Chain A
Amino acid sequence: MPAQQTRTTTAPPLRAHPPRVSAERARRFGSWYYAEHALKVMNGYRWTLIAYSVGNPVMYLFAMGVGLATLVDRNSPDAFGGVSYLAFIAPALLSSATIMTAATEFTFPVMDGFKWRRVYYGPHASPLAVHQIVNGYIIAITLRLLLMTAIYFGIVAAFGASPSPWGWVAVPVAVLCGLSFGLPLMAYAASIKEEKGQFALVMRFVVTPLFLFSGTFFPLDTLPIGLQWIGWISPLWHGTELGRLLTYGYQEPVWLVVIHVVYLIVLAILGWRMARKIYEKRLGA
């Protein structure tokens, strides 16, 4: 038999604040409440995240920036405008990491929210509005990307691969790069009714080609012209070019720099608006 609930007489009775206050607060801080929820979930596997955030850059920088560099620097010492191969690929690896992370965080968890464990439906029944769920999740992932990229940049700097004093600006740029790819993907993921391997296809036919053909490991113009278009539409290429500009003063005409920035921002905003629309339609249905 359950014990009778007892409360000492000195403690004031427990009372929730009035519904009016709940509604008011939800209206003002709802996105942050949902972000808190998402971050709490992430906290459950924080050691994996930290190990990944440290291990991934160290391994890639050693393998590509040191090991592979011995072949590249010996054979083509002047291919990268006077910097080492390590300095050339470091900003590319930085942006690739945010794209890869965005590619997982904006796919499976979205399906989890709508279908598998239906995590969106709990907050949806609370005073939170649908767009706050979208915003909150984006806030949480942005923070995660920011932390990861900051660690990554620290390691890049320790390798001496970011000689410019403006190098640290590459951190927010890489995060923007991740969002410009991740938010349209979030909208797509939310539009999927049944996951039949679409995410695996996105990984293999979108993420991997972007990683390999966006001027990541070699300048884009090394590729035959028929393959260069992949770079032009790829947020990774635009993000990487900006990163190079910031970390080692890569020469780029001003108009192209503007295009890089505008392209990334436009993609992110479009994706965000579309995601909001699709979420509202799906959760409201």
Chain B
Amino acid sequence: MSGPLTIEDYQVEVQDRPFSALYARNARAVISRGLMATKSSNWMVMVSGFFEPVLYLISMGVGLGALVGNVFGPNGQEISYAAYIAPALLAVSAMNGAVYDSTWNVFFKMNFAKLYQGMLYTSLGPLDVAIGEIFLALLRGAMYATGFTAVMGMMGLITTPWALLMIPASVLIAFGFASFGMGITSFMKTFQQMDWINFVMLPMFLFSATFYPLSVYPEPIQWFIQALPLWHGVELLRQISIGVFTAATAIHIVYYLVMILVGMVLTTTRLRKLFLK
């Protein structure tokens, strides 16, 4: 430090822009912290996340597929059972990763590692932290999606170049869940409450036309499933995987755009509750 401080040093510049109390336009500092932490963490754990959907694909696609035979794809043509469930598993993986990163991970860093407590005593605002964490979650999701799509290619499940669009589409799905997840975490106070998140995720995973078509359900249940976000993700990726686009494609995408928007509004309004108590 150069010489003692004088009263002039205690003058402050004020910026007047929207959200200046919440956002310091420095989310990249949070992102670079996350990348640095990844370097020193157990990279095997990171890699292992990629294997989970692949294992499901091999088990269900190959083993169960032998019993199920061919099924009808989104445009009514017959496809192998593996080709039917692969995009669904990718959507589930995008959901799981995003939800984990935006709920458990945030909850732990908030309440146990006290990481955000330190961050928020700097010139960062809570929105910087939220954006940084969501970006990191999406980056990871994009990497897993790329790996999974490659595995699908190797298993001969990709028949059209359109299938590459599954990668950005799964990032879209992840974004929808992550923006919502963080808002929901702001309502959580204990580990027991966090457990309830799994109670919502499990049925969504099992019932969203992941392993069998929606037509097995009676109509009211079909309506209900179609209101849930995962079903739209599953159908979107299923359509993209064989390059069939209909009006429903637009509905699925709009569903996620609205979900992201609502999720971000919820998260932003809950930021003070989440981070500042």
- Which of B41, B63, B81, B192 has the most chain A CB within a 10 Å cutoff? B63
- Give every chain A residue within 8 A of B228 (Cβ-Cβ): none
Complexed CA–CA distance, A222 and B41 (Å): 39
Complexed CA–CA distance, A59 and B203 (Å): 6
* B246 interface residue per 8 A CB criterion: no
- Give every chain B residue within 8 A of A48 (Cβ-Cβ): 192, 195-196
* A71 interface residue per 8 A CB criterion: yes
Beta-carbon contact of B203 and A75 below 8 Å = no
* A79 interface residue per 8 A CB criterion: yes
User: Quick one: which of B245-266 are within 8 Å of A by CB?
Assistant: none
Beta-carbon contact of B45 and A197 below 8 Å = yes
Q: Secondary structure of the A side of the interface?
A: helix
Complexed CA–CA distance, A70 and B58 (Å): 21
Q: Indicate which residue in A62, A66, A222 contacts B63 across the interface (CB closer than 8 Å).
A: A222
Beta-carbon contact of B44 and A209 below 8 Å = no
Complexed CA–CA distance, A52 and B196 (Å): 10
User: Quick one: which of A65-85 are within 8 Å of B by CB?
Assistant: 66-68, 70-72, 75-76, 79
Beta-carbon contact of B62 and A223 below 8 Å = yes
Q: How large is the interface on B (under 10, 10 to 19, 20 to 34, 35 or more residues)?
A: 35 or more
Complexed CA–CA distance, A196 and B48 (Å): 13
Beta-carbon contact of A56 and B202 below 8 Å = yes
Beta-carbon contact of A222 and B206 below 8 Å = no
Complexed CA–CA distance, A72 and B71 (Å): 11
Shortest beta-carbon distance, B224 to chain A, in Å?
13
Q: Which stretch (B49-57, B235-243, B268-276) binds chain A?
A: B49-57
* B10 interface residue per 8 A CB criterion: no
Beta-carbon contact of B66 and A213 below 8 Å = no
CB contact under 8 A between A208 and B55, given known A48-B192, A68-B212 = yes
B contact residues vs A (CB 8 Å cutoff):
41-42, 44-45, 48-49, 51-52, 55-56, 58-60, 62-64, 66-69, 71, 81, 191-192, 195-196, 199, 202-203, 206-207, 211-212, 216-217
A-B contact list, 19 entries, CB within 8 Å:
A45-B191, A55-B202, A60-B206, A68-B211, A68-B212, A70-B212, A71-B71, A72-B68, A76-B67, A79-B67, A196-B42, A197-B41, A205-B51, A212-B56, A212-B60, A217-B63, A218-B67, A222-B63, A222-B67
